[in-house]
Amino acid sequence: MPERSTIYQVAERSGVSTATVSRVMGNGTGFSAATRDRVLATAAELGWFPSGTARGLASRRNGIVGLLFPDLGTGESAEDESPLYVDQVIRGAEREATARGDAVLIAATRGESGRELAFSVASKCDGVVVVARALAENDVADLAQRLPVAVLSDRVGRMARADAVGVDNRGGTGAVVEHLVREHGYRDLAFVGGPSGSPDSIDRFAGFRAALLAEGLDAPDRPDAEGAFTESGGARAVAELVGRRRPRAIVCGNDEMAIGALTALAGAGLRVPEDVAVTGFDDLAAARHVHPHLTTVAQPIRDLGAEAVRAVLARVASPDVERRSIVLPTRLVVRHSCGCVHGQVPAPRPEGELG
Amino acid sequence: MPERSTIYQVAERSGVSTATVSRVMGNGTGFSAATRDRVLATAAELGWFPSGTARGLASRRNGIVGLLFPDLGTGESAEDESPLYVDQVIRGAEREATARGDAVLIAATRGESGRELAFSVASKCDGVVVVARALAENDVADLAQRLPVAVLSDRVGRMARADAVGVDNRGGTGAVVEHLVREHGYRDLAFVGGPSGSPDSIDRFAGFRAALLAEGLDAPDRPDAEGAFTESGGARAVAELVGRRRPRAIVCGNDEMAIGALTALAGAGLRVPEDVAVTGFDDLAAARHVHPHLTTVAQPIRDLGAEAVRAVLARVASPDVERRSIVLPTRLVVRHSCGCVHGQVPAPRPEGELG
DNA sequence: TTGTAGGCGTTATCAT
DNA sequence: ATGATAACGCCTACAA
């Protein structure tokens, strides 16, 4: 590795001051075409380009937005142990950031190492987006006191001066329940939730419960079963659930759990959707691939990431804009696992007919 | 946003020099327990933590490794237009980096904007990993002349002083062909490749061709059809292919194309695997979900990302270590789309029996 | 259009 | 164990 050249070399070699070199590389005005060409040429000669780090220090703008997310995977377990959801958030964030000339610095918090990692990442960024559960609330508050922060969760809570962006979780599961009850006539629904601390899971259950009550049906106080937001988590939770009772439909907290549910139900000798209907949440690509095709709630995950980055960058530009709380819409996607056939809803059939 | 405090405030307020504060926050020696507590306390009071940017400038170590990847998606198209492959690489890179105390700065190159973006990202990093096709070869070379670079591709080529890490593509498709020919007795195989410029696609086809010849069969000079490495790309390519001729088995360049192939074949009224067998490459999670379950070649994508980061960081530590070229193994994963049933290979059946 | 010089917030090298 | 004080590589008024 040859010694890196600096702006000084370039300036000297092209017979100008460092200020001029700086102007040529950055603010595109304040120099003649001739000097620009000369500077650019010697820069190329020397293989030099300005240090983003030094630039960041001097201009107080790093061109980096951080993205903190939780990684539940142990590293030992199968790939399905890590929520695919986050991949989409990352992509969405990346697109928005790159479009605006910034890059995204990612890091996953695992276990209790969160705070330190978060500060380390934040110290290199202009702002940070924090995916729900990546960081303790007070750590988020501490961060937000130092630089712009957006939280990916519709829980605005007491997150001091942090913007929030989330999706309409309640409306999502609400629509599912309505469909299941009104179109299919199911009356015995169960909810299989994610980790009990997850805001998403909590809100989705709230929507489930509210819709059930609105339909004049009984509703449980808490999810009928819970597990990690993963395929195996869903499989375990559902296996346990059907060992206990036989709901006519199982509303799952996300697609990965629903896919696990499919496996568990097959293992229990139950047919989907004939014996028990299953629904998910997310509309991952896999939802279209599993058998039967999964009825689920689509949420614009990529947009979540993009929107969060936008919020952060907005606050970087003007730190004192009012706090925003953005809620993105969800949309019911009807496929076959609910009992619909090619988009057609079969005539409601009394429960129990199939034993 | 309150004025950010600096190391000066902290130093003054705790009655020590900035040097001591620096010591306390960094390499943990050279101070008494008492002063450490004092410094830490006032740091917490002021909500201060050291600027990663300033730190990077002074120590010539940013704690950031860059990850450049291509994004083919137009932004308009469906999510399946963006290779899932990259998500895994990102995750693998992130894990390895975080484990070593670094973070990953990601950015996607789209169209011709690559070079500028690459330099902008690189200027903030200690080293960079470049996913195949993210950057022109000479741009990679220019980068590598300035900082450690690892390329994700087994094409070592003339990439000046860049490490390379890839997978055994040839061996992978070779194993598929062997299985198809020896176990199932298929003799008419077709290869559906990705973008013609893709090193991965080229090598996978090379393995396909070599294995065919080794089995004493005829082999085409070029893929029987090509398309983007996406579901829709695979669907289109296969639809076109079967409109032309009817191979007994279709070896696809990756899983996403294979999944598209499944759709296209269903659309053409052909059964898989009875009428035509299909195989993929990657072993994405989706491969286990599609119907029939996809026989494919597993490659350790996450490990690719991890290994690349490791290579970069190794070179950051000692810039003059010899160039490494790492090739990770692939593994045949037999499921049902090749004609096997629950892991059992049915007795070979003459072609054409099924018409 | 171009140059001068101070500053950005740390780390690191000498001293003490 | 602690303190001065140069770097680190660039940006940006302020001048010319």
Domains of chain A by residue range: 1-50, 169-299
Query: What is the reported pLDDT for B3?
Result: 74
Model confidence at A77, in pLDDT bands (50, 70, 90)? very low
Chain A CA closest to residue B142: A47
Count CB neighbours of B264 within 10 A. 26
Question: Could you tell me the distance in Å between the CA of residue B26 and the C1' of nucleotide C10?
Answer: 11
The two structure tokens encoding residue A311: 């919020």
Tell me yes or no: is domain B1-50 CATH 1.10.10.10: no
Spell out the per-residue pLDDT of chain B, length 355, in tens. 667 899 999 999 999 999 999 999 987 788 999 999 999 999 999 999 999 999 999 999 999 999 999 987 644 444 444 467 899 999 999 999 999 999 999 999 998 778 999 999 999 999 999 998 899 999 999 999 999 999 998 665 556 689 999 999 999 999 999 999 999 999 999 999 999 988 899 999 999 999 999 999 999 999 999 999 999 999 999 999 999 999 999 999 999 999 999 999 999 999 999 999 999 999 988 899 899 999 999 999 999 999 999 999 999 999 999 999 999 999 999 999 999 986 565 554 444 333 2
Which bases of chain D are contacted by protein, using any atom under 7 A from a CB? 1-5, 7-13
Among B169, B166, B228, residue whose Cα is nearest residue B197: B228
The two structure tokens encoding residue A61: 């703008």
Among A247, A270, A266, A251, residue whose Cα is nearest residue A187: A247
Q: Is the confidence at residue A347, as pLDDT, over 90?
A: no
Cβ of A6 less than 7 A from strand D: yes
Residues of A in contact with B101 (CB under 8 A): 120
CATH fold of A169-299: Rossmann fold (3.40.50)
- Please state the rounded mean pLDDT for residues A349-353: 41
Do A1-50 and A169-299 fold alike per CATH?
A: no
Cα–Cα distance measured from residue B199 to residue B176, given in angstroms and rounded to the nearest whole number? 19
Cβ of A53 less than 7 A from strand C: no
CA distances from B2 to A157, A245, A320, B123 (A): 21, 56, 10, 29
Cβ of B27 less than 7 A from strand D: no
- Comparing every residue's Cα with the C1' atom of nucleotide D2, the nearest one is B20
Rg (CA), chain A: 26
Q: In Å, how far is A281's CA from the nearest CA of chain B? A: 16
Do the beta carbons of residue A240 and residue A209 sit within 8 Å? no
Cα–Cα distance measured from residue B174 to residue A186, given in angstroms and rounded to the nearest whole number? 51
In the Cβ-directed half-sphere of A155, how many Cα atoms lie within 13 Å? 17
Which of the residue ranges A1-15, A213-227, B79-93, B305-319 would you say has the lowest mean pLDDT?
B79-93
Q: Is the confidence at residue A75, as pLDDT, over 50?
A: no
Q: In Å, how far is B124's CA from the nearest CA of chain A? A: 5
Phi-psi group of B264: left, alpha or beta (phi > 0 → left; psi -120 to 50 → alpha; rest → beta): alpha
- Cβ neighbors of A98 (< 8 A, separation 6 or more) are A104, B107, B108, B110, B117
- Cβ neighbors of B91 (< 8 A, separation 6 or more) are A82, A87, B302, B305
Strand order in the sheet with A127-131: A325-328, A163-167, A149-152, A127-131, A64-70, A103-109, B103-109, B64-70, B127-131, B149-152, B163-167, B325-328
Among B161, B311, B139, residue whose Cα is nearest residue A47: B139
Host H or E run for residue A150: strand A149-152
Cα–Cα distance measured from residue B208 to residue B179, given in angstroms and rounded to the nearest whole number? 12
φ and ψ at residue B179, rounded to 5 degrees: -60, -50
Query: What is the reported pLDDT for B346?
Result: 57
Cα–Cα distance measured from residue B152 to residue B191, given in angstroms and rounded to the nearest whole number? 23
- Comparing every residue's Cα with the C1' atom of nucleotide C7, the nearest one is A58
Cα–Cα distance measured from residue B227 to residue A251, given in angstroms and rounded to the nearest whole number? 38
> Could you tell me which residue, A156 or B237, shows the higher pLDDT?
B237
Query: What is the reported pLDDT for B104?
Result: 98
Question: Could you tell me the distance in Å between the CA of residue A51 and the C1' of nucleotide D10?
Answer: 7
Mapping DSSP onto H, E and C, the string for A108-139 reads: EECCCCHHHHHHHHHCCCCEEEEECCCCCHHH
Specify burial of residue B324 (Cβ count, 10 A radius: 0-12, 13-18, 19+). middle
Q: In Å, how far is A351's CA from the nearest CA of chain B? A: 29
Residues of A in contact with B129 (CB under 8 A): none
